Amino acid sequence: MTKFKDLNLSEATLKAIDKMGFEEATPIQSETIPLGLTGKDIIGQAQTGTGKTTAFGIPMVEKIDTKNDSIQGLIIAPTRELAIQVSEELYKIGSGKRARVLAVYGGQDIQRQIRALKQRPHIIVGTPGRILDHINRRTLKLENLETLVLDEADEMLNMGFIQDIESILSNVPAERQTLLFSATMPGPIRAIAERFMKDPEMIRVKAKEMTVSNIDQYFVKVQQRDKFDVLARLMDVHSPELAIIFGRTKRRVDELANALSLRGYQAEGIHGDLTQAKRLTVLKRFKEGKIDVLVATDVAARGLDISGVTHVYNYDIPQDPESYVHRIGRTGRAGKEGMAVTFVDPREMSYLREVERTTKKRMTPMEAPSWDDALSGLQQAAVNELEQVIAKNEWAEYRTFAKDLLDQNNPEEVVAAALKLITKEPDRTPVHITNEAALPQKRDKFRSKNSGGYRKSGGGGRQGGGRSYGNRDRKGGSGGSGGGRRKYSSN
């Protein structure tokens, strides 16, 4: 996979991308960014969730001259929700260079937008009707425009914006770079490309669909502040043999690995700041079972051959479905079953729904377990461990001691005491995990045409229906502990 640091980007942009938690480029990004930086016109046939906003956003931001107060970049989007979403992402990408980004769309006070336009933004993201309105009012001056992007062009065609788009295109400089992105390429979109683009380069990337069917997929709706305790209790219930936890940022990974170690897990983290030698050492220890929890950014989801992973926990839901597919693909390999649990901030439910649409598989809502549930899970793991020792005849030298104990005590009390001794009760050692901002609100692209506006995806399914924690049969079930107790670090 291509890393952003290998794409000849400025230090300011690399710093901004690093802050966003991105390390490796998606296929459309690795193809679009180098071409975009050369000034080529580009047609990208790509579905939502492939990372196209960053693909066109990085070249646009890289070319922005912040000493020049004119509008240099324009992105046309079909809906106000997408315009807001794109502007938020571009603001993050351009934060290192201090590029000014403004979203303009219908439904917002136009006088407020006019005042904002007087603040000299470098990049405008907007819907066709409102952009055209500003052009006609002469409040949007595009004579120095260098880069134009048509995002989700087929959606704009479906919504009847094709004439507005042509009017906008006739009001921008002929000498410019144009990038057009569309999931499909109907005739009218191809006609626009032929009329308004110069020898465009074609890039085709499709969002990968889920091909692994033997992964049980769950989600837990949970507030940021409660995530870690929910994670710890779930792991106590599940007793995973090998688990990978994915975090969105390097800071998140470092804090999670440290917090898990404090709670008694053998955990280590990997991300892009580690040397290659250190990463290989951590992965080797994980594969050998010397650590049982690997905490990673998305860099670990791509191209790593790791077998035996029973559980994947998405501590942070990824920004695009393709990353989700890569993440959970670490488990459920070689014909074995696996389990993936995704933690979702209530404000991020639209991202969960987009993942479900891409993978064509609904996730099962899972209830966050209590501390009592965690204790029950650890007690069951202790029972499994005791049964394994019995089955393996690994107790012969203790027979005399056992006989003496049974002569003096009730057999049930002896077994109960043994189980208490080997049960690691839930650890509540205080830990620090920095809250990360929720992902920007995403529009529901598949909203009802008759709803009269945008409806936020907020529900996320029924949370009740019994206390479901995704447990399988703990006696040898491949998704449970396989009879093993979780390993604890010696310190």
pLDDT digits (tens, 9 = 90+) for 90-121: 999 999 899 999 999 988 899 999 999 999 99
Percent of the chain with pLDDT over 70: 83
Residue located via tokens 């219908």: 106
**Residue of 317, 313, 312, 320 whose CA lies nearest to 344:** 317
How many Cα atoms sit within 13 Å of 102 on the Cβ side? Answer: 21
Check: CB of residue 355 under 8 Å from CB of residue 449: no
407 pLDDT band, cuts 50/70/90, is confident
Q: Which residue has the higher pLDDT, 449 or 8?
A: 8
Strands 311-314 and 338-344: parallel
Greatest mean pLDDT among 70-84, 280-294, 367-381, 467-481: 70-84
Confidence of residue 422 (pLDDT cuts 50, 70, 90): low
Token pair for 17: 């991308």
Residue 243's H or E segment, with its range, is strand 243-246
Binning pLDDT at 50, 70 and 90, where does residue 282 land? Answer: confident
What is the mean predicted confidence (pLDDT) over 168-186?
Answer: 92
| HSE toward the beta carbon, residue 129, CA cutoff 13 A | 12
Burial label, 253 (beta-carbon count in 10 A; 0-12, 13-18, 19+): buried
pLDDT at residue 295 tops 80 = yes
Task: Tell me the helix, strand and coil percentages in the chain, rounded to 5.
Answer: 40, 15, 45
C-beta of residue 285 within 8 angstroms of C-beta of residue 293: no
Cα–Cα distance between 365 and 349 in angstroms, integer? 12
- Beta-bridge mates of residue 409: none
Kindly report the backbone phi and psi dihedral angles of residue 203, in degrees, each rounded to the nearest multiple of 5, phi listed first. Answer: -125, 125
Distance of CA 332 to the CA centre of its chain: 19
Query: Quick one: DSSP state of residue 108?
Result: S
What's the pLDDT at 48? 64
Which residue in 205, 202, 169, 204 sits closest to 40, CA to CA?
Answer: 202
Tokens representing 64? Answer: 């922005």
The label of the residue with tokens 């080997």 reads: 422
- Any idea which of 57-61, 231-235, 247-251 has the lowest mean pLDDT? 247-251
CA angle centred on 453, ends 449 and 454, rounded to 5°: 100
Residue 479 has pLDDT above 60, yes or no: no
Alpha helices by DSSP H, 38-109: 52-63, 80-93
Tell me the one-letter amino acid at 476: G
| Residue 323 in this model has a pLDDT that exceeds 80 | no
pLDDT at 377: 78
Average pLDDT over residues 415-441: 76
Angle value at C-alpha 180, between 128 and 52, nearest 5 degrees: 100
What domains does the chain contain, in order, with CATH numbers? Answer: 4-205 (3.40.50.300), 208-491 (3.40.50.300)
- Mean pLDDT over 455-470 rounds to 40
Does the structure show a pLDDT above 60 at 301? Answer: no
Least confident of 153-167, 289-303, 438-452: 438-452
Contact in structure between 156 and 107 (CB atoms under 8 Å) = no
Residue 344 DSSP SS3: strand
Q: Residue 147: CA atoms inside 13 Å, Cβ hemisphere, count?
A: 26
The angle at the Cα of 53, spanning 321 to 69, to the nearest 5 degrees, equals 160
Report yes or no: 428 and 328 within 8 Å, Cβ to Cβ.
Answer: no
**154: exposed, middle or buried (Cβ count in 10 Å: 0-12, 13-18, 19+):** middle
Integer Cα distance of 192 and 184 in angstroms? 14
Of 125-129, 390-394, 400-404, 441-445, the poorest mean pLDDT is in 441-445
Predicted structure pTM score: 0.52
Strands (E), 247-371: 267-270, 293-296, 311-314, 338-344, 364-365
DSSP single-letter state for residue 296 = E
pLDDT for 258 equals 94
Q: 27-48: per-residue pLDDT in tens?
A: 889 999 999 999 999 999 876 6
- Which among 214, 191, 185, 170 is positioned nearest to 44, based on CA atoms? 185
Q: How far, CA to CA in Å, does 59 sit from each of 29, 38, 43, 55?
A: 10, 9, 14, 7
Residue type, 115: R
As a three-state string, the secondary structure of 246-272 is ECCCHHHHHHHHHHHHHCCECEEEECC
Q: Say yes or no to pLDDT of 409 above 80.
A: yes
Residue 372 has pLDDT above 70, yes or no: yes
